[in-house]
Amino acid sequence: MKITVLVDNNTLIDRYFLAEPGLSLLIEDDETTVLFDTGYSDIFLKNAFKMGQDLTNLDYLVLSHNHLDHTWGLDPLIRYFTEMKIEQRPFKRPALVAHPEVFVSVNVEGIGEVGCLLSQEKLAKHFPLQLSAQPKALSSKLTFLGEIPRRNNFETNLTFGRKEGADEDDQVIDDSALVYHSSKGLIIITGCSHAGICNIIEYAKEVCGDNRVVDIIGGFHLLNPPAQQLEGTLSYLEALQPESVHACHCTDLSAKIALSRVIRLKEVGVGLSIKYDS
């Protein structure tokens, strides 16, 4: 299995790609090809082209959650596929996999709409929709986790914005992740970890029936986190001791420094490609 970083806040040193505050990963195994999130703009397409990566043969388009830095690239992807059709070039329309609440509008005070700009009805005209709050197998080894149970007391009340019609701040229950169950253990792939990175890991272990964690890659949502959350996360990961961790996107410098003291933290940026044993 291979993961290629198409969008992150940073690029790797001496790799001349584009970066933005967002995330998009290309995941390829022997059975399926998945685009995980689309970032904020069209740079995932530009970077994929420069890398020689083919996005015309995707089996799945997975959205980790509905926020702008993960879904606003949907519009340029639809344009890309439409242009392929106009030019009569072959391409595959991937199934769109996400939590059922991924299309609910969400607003942040002082900013406005930060959720997905395209409705479920509009996207259904372009992709077969496979919305699920339950775990869903994408291949024999790759699973979409659906809705993540919030069980750790140090990762409670992680809210962001407010969904349309709601009376309370949004707990982003549509936040999900992927897990690849390799022969050596789990590779956990996150978007922003609004559900709590430790909650996500615990649920991945439960779903797969395996406590071994090879790697965790993606956003950890550790942006000036409360002391309780950071300390709990550090204690959890120090006890877990995954083989490696690729924390990126919404993980700030101070959190990365703290993480590096207790686990094997690796550098991440656009252009990174990681291969894992099956």
pLDDT in tens, 115-129: 999 999 999 999 999
What does the pLDDT read at residue 225? 94
Q: SS3 of 248, please?
A: strand
How far is it between the farthest Cα atoms of the chain?
A: 55
> What's the DSSP call for residue 94?
P
What does the pLDDT read at residue 103? 96
Rounded CA-CA distance 172/147 in Å is: 10
Rounded CA-CA distance 256/233 in Å is: 12
| Percentage above 90 pLDDT, the chain | 94
Q: What is the number of structural domains in the chain? A: 1
pLDDT tens readout for residues 152-190: 999 977 888 898 888 889 899 999 999 999 999 999 999
Which CATH number does the domain housing residue 261 bear? 3.60.15.10
Rounded CA-CA distance 147/196 in Å is: 12
The residues that bridge with 183 in the sheet, in sequence order, are: none
Rounded CA-CA distance 242/93 in Å is: 35
Q: SS3 of 147, please?
A: coil
Rounded CA-CA distance 106/160 in Å is: 9
In terms of Cα–Cα distance, which of 278, 63, 59 is closest to 186? 278
Amino acid code (one letter) for 104: V
What does the pLDDT read at residue 156? 76
**Region 215-244 average pLDDT:** 97
Band of the pLDDT at 102, cuts 50, 70, 90? very high
**Helix, strand, coil share (%) of the chain residues, nearest 5:** 25, 25, 50
pLDDT tens readout for residues 207-225: 999 999 999 999 999 999 9
Rounded CA-CA distance 146/176 in Å is: 6
Structure tokens at 173: 């229950």
Band of the pLDDT at 55, cuts 50, 70, 90? very high
* CA dist list (Å): 164 to 72, 119, 123, 136: 18, 13, 19, 27
Rounded CA-CA distance 240/243 in Å is: 9
Rounded CA-CA distance 232/226 in Å is: 10
Supply the mean pLDDT for the chain.
96
> What's the DSSP call for residue 176?
-
What does the pLDDT read at residue 157? 77
Segments forming the whole domain that contains residue 214: 2-275
What does the pLDDT read at residue 271? 98
Rounded CA-CA distance 83/48 in Å is: 17
pLDDT at 250 over 90: yes
- What length is written for the chain? 278
What does the pLDDT read at residue 170? 86
Which pTM was predicted? 0.97
